[in-house]
Structure 1
């Protein structure tokens, strides 16, 4: 997580970030009421119930600042006295050591225990539910399918939420952190905690578009906002000497609408008997009910696309997949890319081939809030441009941990996740790679300035987008039959070949966005995640590297053409005359690196390698494991872990010798993979033979070779089941746990099972290789 934020002037923060329509005259009227009844003493410039010097008061900060709840209630009462139409939607609660609970069904306590909570009221939640029911009625829903109870059925009292397990994240509008002294270490600790709290709310509650927080050190108060592209902090104010600022803040906290506090009106929690939290989501003009999460990258970083994917059901009971994400503002929507790809294919039969191999959009569009397309600048910040504000820096940075309830639902990573940080400007796709000696601009740039530049890239303006796919398919990484994997890959390569001939590159092929899909008697290989696809050679202003690291072509990873002819000719070491002094030659400009068709094909090759390495085989009910588990484990770590080695990946592509490392049942596919590596080598060498000119005219032949080799092995791999290595380790661990329950040693008789048990805790496989069905 980055440790930078943008500091916004207090007046700007109130005008743009706290848009509750509170006028200065109304704030002054509330202040007059509070002074008239002795709540605030103008003579001493202090709130009568709040210590002027908190550090002098013994006790925990939550106890010392407990009077803030009384001030909050008095502000609410005074405001409603002046305007009887005001409806309070949120209440302030201050507790000590009360955790946040991730969800209704998970019962997982988060590490954070904020000092203060702003909790949404029952009636505000019910109003959002009623609005969703109206949309469902228009969409043809006869009933809230799967729901057996309503919010009204639950005990929503403050005591029920606060005593015992904690407070549900979905009911927390914001959190607060207190420190009695304003020391540097206390400020740093508060700042780190409030960032953690806000990021946790965005991570665990899909109903949030952004979140607020506040920190208090002694009598100094700051307000914070975190969205998918902004991390803002207001200028601090003295809550004792600047009572109008505190009153305005509390008026916003109490009377704002849920959407002004970050809630998304187009998605609501749906109480049900499901083992997983259920939601109703609007996409296009339709309402869908979630069945369960398929993928969720929102935990990796508060910024970025933060994709969430659900299996959903429509009003007719049909199953689909729905994706929700925040796109860079200047990038096209995925359904637009889908339409452009098909429009660029001239032949009707080829167009049908590709359409049958792409996930089919059936509902899509930008999410609307109050009739406006939601985005991080015009809607969330009310048009305020925070890009010109000054930077602040957190000294202590919280490490965002994976959501323990979602470990099995991590999907493909995205270019703006932490493992794909912004590149240096000199190595972006659309700039030349300089070979000049000397320092670059980034070498001369101070570290803080460089991080500010990277922060600007990650915090770019974004819009909120949803798309629903007709198909709810199974990712290649979760397909359980080898013959189905190969069938899907053949169809995918065929479609990629047509797309490439039409000038399109996918740029993010991985085992998590290639699918096997079967409907009735029809089997299809499908390609998903088109948001990074573009026409080859099309320029881009984005200097963010695309591709899932474990499946990225080695040239795309290195941002360099690696198969160009060597400038050194073969020479005889025993003939000195063959060596002459190398004279300087005219500089040849390197072409800008661009992701091409061969790179997509190599990513498909890495998908096949992952199937070999990350699974054991089974046939006729008999498991056939790798004979070299240690070597296989090393390969898993080198190729498919977050600490994977680029050198190891390059070596495997150059010489893919791992037939003894994988199950012997996979031998036909091992031979095909080795042959396809030769095809890739030939394709790269031909393309770069006349470097710096890159010739891609032969690519259709490479696609043809891929299909031929895979078609040849299909009869040999029938009936082979894929058993994920992680599943094997899990099974052994479960057996161990059961045996430990009876205080006996685990019943593991063979050495292979013992090794699996020892390796189970050391497995560091990329989460994207275990993505559930889509």
Structure 2
């Protein structure tokens, strides 16, 4: 079975869609699929909560609580309810934080009933003294309504990394949706901010009904509600399990030790790596290199640090990059994939040289071990128990007004595979491409990336996750990283999650369908020699006509350009299993080049003397970025309609240098589109090593090289100020629903009469030599006469 046979599979973000944290907050529910699995409370107790401390009995403690403690006149339980809650919260007129602060009293008497000393408690349940905050008011310093935090940390000094369990309270059951939303934000915040957090617990209470929550990098699970006032056995079991649990059982990672630098008021960490069949190695972090992968609660949760190896408490050796994350348990580890890729290139071949020069070198790698056991989301966190579907899923969406929203949105479900905690240490330390401010340097890296990918493809590999974060610059030189999703042509393993970063993902991969099958005359479908091809041709003829019939019209207003109807772009189960191929890697590179060009704000130079005009051009450029990268229908038309992208570029007031480069990219897109049409015409017989014409690699190399050199001729260099304001998922959904109808300005701007002159060798840079073409003897799978075409 082909890997992509599953249809409409979710895509786990390898990087967030928005770089601004405030914009990511509304995305928390979206990141969880907008619904979570429900289980019975006994399942939650048996398979998710920490085991009870040896010697504790819930029944015995409940019996103790029905009698007064020595010297006291009243018991904690009276009239079949907690004495602290003589009134149900919904009927208590007092301020909400005061009402639920009574839970602190109950947790204290439960501890007293155990007879254990205070210092055996790992955490203490507390209520926040602050006013209950609405979701929109949450900021980086706010706390949940209630929480269980480390015993030796005072309330005023409690931060998110001290909190083991987050809780949210509401007096009214009608406020359940808002309560869940706040709890999801708290869980997401815990998983994001606490480097040591492997999983997290939570609870919500509306009136007297309580739910328990669990979150790791694969799933969020919630219990069915129970009455914490009457069903005291479940409540007491929860309090006891959490209070006396080991830190590892509460989700903290014992293989990471946190240190605080009092001078810089920052944290650094000692991280232990467990290489297979080798002694563990500890590294001390010096600087965070990347952590955007940890923004979403589900997924890889990747963080990368600059670090140095520790020996006898002393830092030794050269700086390295330590990568910590969660990989699909059934996937090869990244270090092993590096070994396989290098082994696929014949010794001494051009491909082998490319891999040595442009891929990172691995120092060591291994799965994280917790008390000698692999840290896995199913086998360890859920203790190997199957997740029951008997009780369905709990919606996290706040109910909409009648007539709004859609059925598809309310039924969206996200399922993540089981994951294993893993670490890889690389010998080189680099910075991601999106941090580079020089447009010339960026396109130089993209230029070299083309031939690195050619080597991969010729050796029958595809990368499958090209993004601005997966391309590093090490001392100014390109390094392609994040190859854990790279796949060899012979690998037929099936996974249920699409890979890639949405902004850069190929449109075919995004929809899991082939878009470029030649339609030809209407009777071609019946005459097609390949029945699979005939079925696909018939299906996509209507989609393609919808995108191309109006190519030549409406060039005066971007807002009126043709758009595909929802019916034509709705994801359907493909007639044939969709297969990722090397062309999809190259399309991702093209989208990355376009994103680099237009999703940026530029520094004003001497040629941009009119500040108002410059600001207007930047505004048009930001709008173009929004319409191209956050509307899937527009992305599809860019790659399928002949003049759709051209019309956009011609109708906007762009900087001369940006418009010039965009025209060059458009020409490159035409060649890419032709290659797709040729490949999709034979979708049942695509070979990785030959599907990409040699001319396409050359065209992309030459285009990126021309832009690289050209940008150096505009007043010496073109520098990027910052990334353009990025949209959150809520904004993207509004755009896709058609709720943003602001037409873009349509101002024709003449292109430069000729591209910038190539710099001479005397100006400091020799014309870059193309990487040598791969031939039959240097790389397997090459076509006749050494060609890949």
Do both proteins adopt the same fold according to a TM-score greater than 0.5, normalized to the shorter chain? yes
Deviation at 1:535, TM superposition (A): 1.5
TM-score for both structures, normalised by structure 1: 0.70
Say whether the 8 Å CA contact 2:34–2:410 is kept in structure 1. Answer: no
Deviation at 1:499, TM superposition (A): 0.9
1:176 aligns with 2:167: yes
Q: What is residue 106 of structure 2 aligned with on the other side?
A: 71
Deviation at 1:538, TM superposition (A): 3.6
Query: Aligned in 2, Cα 1:108/1:675: closer, same or farther, shift over 3 Å?
Result: same
Deviation at 1:357, TM superposition (A): 0.9
Say whether the 8 Å CA contact 1:329–1:463 is kept in structure 2. Answer: yes
Query: Which has the higher mean CA deviation after the structures are superposed, 370-379 or 354-363?
Result: 354-363
Counterpart CA distance in 2 for 1:481 and 1:63 is 56
Q: What is residue 532 of structure 2 aligned with on the other side?
A: 589
Deviation at 1:13, TM superposition (A): 2.0
Q: What is residue 590 of structure 2 aligned with on the other side?
A: 605
Q: How does 1:433-512 map to 2 (within 5 A)?
A: 451=412, 454-455=413-414, 457-458=415-416, 460-512=417-469
Counterpart CA distance in 2 for 1:89 and 1:63 is 25
SS state of the match for residue 338, structure 1? helix
Counterpart CA distance in 1 for 2:148 and 2:484 is 37
SS state of the match for residue 216, structure 1? strand
Query: Aligned in 2, Cα 1:209/1:655: closer, same or farther, shift over 3 Å?
Result: same
Deviation at 1:611, TM superposition (A): 3.1
1:516 aligns with 2:473: yes
Query: Which has the higher mean CA deviation after the structures are superposed, 358-367 or 308-317?
Result: 308-317
SS state of the match for residue 567, structure 1? coil
Query: Aligned in 2, Cα 1:626/1:690: closer, same or farther, shift over 3 Å?
Result: farther
SS state of the match for residue 607, structure 1? helix
1:392 aligns with 2:393: yes
Query: Aligned in 2, Cα 1:338/1:187: closer, same or farther, shift over 3 Å?
Result: same
Q: How does 1:400-439 map to 2 (within 5 A)?
A: none
Q: Which one of the candidate residues 32, 35, 40 is aligned to 1:9?
A: 40
User: Residue by residue, what CA displacement relative to the aligned partner does 1:236-260 show, whole Å, maximum 9, x if unpaired?
Assistant: 4443444433332222222111121
Counterpart CA distance in 2 for 1:536 and 1:335 is 19
Counterpart CA distance in 2 for 1:509 and 1:638 is 21
Deviation at 1:18, TM superposition (A): 1.9
Q: How does 1:238-257 map to 2 (within 5 A)?
A: 238-257=227-246
Q: What is residue 432 of structure 1 aligned with on the other side?
A: none
Deviation at 1:677, TM superposition (A): 3.1
Counterpart CA distance in 1 for 2:602 and 2:224 is 61
Counterpart CA distance in 1 for 2:41 and 2:525 is 65
User: Residue by residue, what CA displacement relative to the aligned partner does 1:568-606 show, whole Å, maximum 9, x if unpaired?
Assistant: 28xxxxxxxxxx999798882145322211221222223
User: Residue by residue, what CA displacement relative to the aligned partner does 1:125-144 show, whole Å, maximum 9, x if unpaired?
Assistant: xxxxxxxxxxxxxxxxxxxx
Q: How does 1:14-33 map to 2 (within 5 A)?
A: 14-22=45-53, 26-33=57-64
Query: Which has the higher mean CA deviation after the structures are superposed, 58-67 or 621-630?
Result: 621-630
Query: Aligned in 2, Cα 1:617/1:340: closer, same or farther, shift over 3 Å?
Result: same
Counterpart CA distance in 2 for 1:648 and 1:626 is 28
User: Residue by residue, what CA displacement relative to the aligned partner does 1:369-414 show, whole Å, maximum 9, x if unpaired?
Assistant: 2221111112112222224452232364499xxxxxxxxxxxxxxx
Deviation at 1:231, TM superposition (A): 2.1
Counterpart CA distance in 2 for 1:709 and 1:49 is 73
Deviation at 1:534, TM superposition (A): 0.6
Q: Which one of the candidate residues 91, 111, 116 is aligned to 2:124?
A: 91
Counterpart CA distance in 1 for 2:85 and 2:509 is 60
Counterpart CA distance in 1 for 2:132 and 2:286 is 27
Q: Which one of the candidate residues 566, 584, 589 is aligned to 2:519?
A: 566
Q: Which one of the candidate residues 269, 274, 282 is aligned to 2:272?
A: 282
TM-score for both structures, normalised by structure 2: 0.69
SS state of the match for residue 499, structure 2? coil
Q: What is residue 305 of structure 1 aligned with on the other side?
A: 300
SS state of the match for residue 177, structure 1? strand
Query: Aligned in 2, Cα 1:120/1:652: closer, same or farther, shift over 3 Å?
Result: farther
Say whether the 8 Å CA contact 1:305–1:327 is kept in structure 2. Answer: yes
Query: Which has the higher mean CA deviation after the structures are superposed, 667-676 or 193-202?
Result: 667-676
Q: How does 1:714-725 map to 2 (within 5 A)?
A: 716-718=710-712, 720-724=716-720
Say whether the 8 Å CA contact 1:298–1:306 is kept in structure 2. Answer: yes
Q: How does 1:370-381 map to 2 (within 5 A)?
A: 370-381=371-382
Deviation at 1:531, TM superposition (A): 2.2
Deviation at 1:505, TM superposition (A): 0.6
Count of residues in Structure 1 that have an aligned counterpart in Structure 2: 620
Q: What is residue 354 of structure 1 aligned with on the other side?
A: 355
Q: What is residue 4 of structure 2 aligned with on the other side?
A: none
Unpaired segments ≥5 residues, structure 1: 123-155, 162-166, 400-442, 570-579, 731-774
Q: What is residue 295 of structure 1 aligned with on the other side?
A: 291
Q: What is residue 364 of structure 2 aligned with on the other side?
A: 363
Q: What is residue 3 of structure 2 aligned with on the other side?
A: none
Deviation at 1:711, TM superposition (A): 5.0
Say whether the 8 Å CA contact 2:123–2:243 is kept in structure 1. Answer: yes
Q: What is residue 383 of structure 1 aligned with on the other side?
A: 384
Q: What is residue 684 of structure 1 aligned with on the other side?
A: 676
Counterpart CA distance in 2 for 1:724 and 1:8 is 50
Query: Aligned in 2, Cα 1:587/1:487: closer, same or farther, shift over 3 Å?
Result: closer
Counterpart CA distance in 1 for 2:498 and 2:725 is 34
Say whether the 8 Å CA contact 1:616–1:663 is kept in structure 2. Answer: no
Deviation at 1:504, TM superposition (A): 0.4
Deviation at 1:527, TM superposition (A): 1.0
Query: Aligned in 2, Cα 1:586/1:651: closer, same or farther, shift over 3 Å?
Result: closer
Say whether the 8 Å CA contact 1:97–1:114 is kept in structure 2. Answer: no
Counterpart CA distance in 1 for 2:524 and 2:307 is 69
Query: Which has the higher mean CA deviation after the structures are superposed, 508-517 or 315-324?
Result: 315-324
SS state of the match for residue 107, structure 2? helix
1:196 aligns with 2:226: no
Q: What is residue 553 of structure 1 aligned with on the other side?
A: 506
Counterpart CA distance in 2 for 1:477 and 1:713 is 17
Counterpart CA distance in 2 for 1:586 and 1:244 is 69
Counterpart CA distance in 2 for 1:115 and 1:327 is 33
SS state of the match for residue 270, structure 1? strand
Q: What is residue 765 of structure 2 aligned with on the other side?
A: none
Counterpart CA distance in 2 for 1:375 and 1:503 is 31
Q: What is residue 214 of structure 2 aligned with on the other side?
A: 225
RMSD: 4.0
Deviation at 1:335, TM superposition (A): 1.5
Say whether the 8 Å CA contact 2:53–2:244 is kept in structure 1. Answer: no
SS state of the match for residue 248, structure 1? helix
SS state of the match for residue 76, structure 1? helix
Q: What is residue 738 of structure 2 aligned with on the other side?
A: none
Counterpart CA distance in 1 for 2:228 and 2:467 is 52
Q: What is residue 335 of structure 1 aligned with on the other side?
A: 335
Q: How does 1:319-334 map to 2 (within 5 A)?
A: 319-334=319-334
Say whether the 8 Å CA contact 2:465–2:485 is kept in structure 1. Answer: yes
SS state of the match for residue 316, structure 2? coil
Counterpart CA distance in 2 for 1:666 and 1:190 is 47
Say whether the 8 Å CA contact 2:50–2:250 is kept in structure 1. Answer: no
SS state of the match for residue 321, structure 1? strand
SS state of the match for residue 451, structure 2? helix
Query: Aligned in 2, Cα 1:253/1:554: closer, same or farther, shift over 3 Å?
Result: closer
Q: What is residue 532 of structure 1 aligned with on the other side?
A: 485
Query: Which has the higher mean CA deviation after the structures are superposed, 87-96 or 185-194?
Result: 185-194
SS state of the match for residue 429, structure 2? coil
Say whether the 8 Å CA contact 1:619–1:721 is kept in structure 2. Answer: no
Counterpart CA distance in 2 for 1:612 and 1:218 is 53
Deviation at 1:59, TM superposition (A): 0.4
SS state of the match for residue 339, structure 1? helix
Counterpart CA distance in 2 for 1:198 and 1:626 is 40
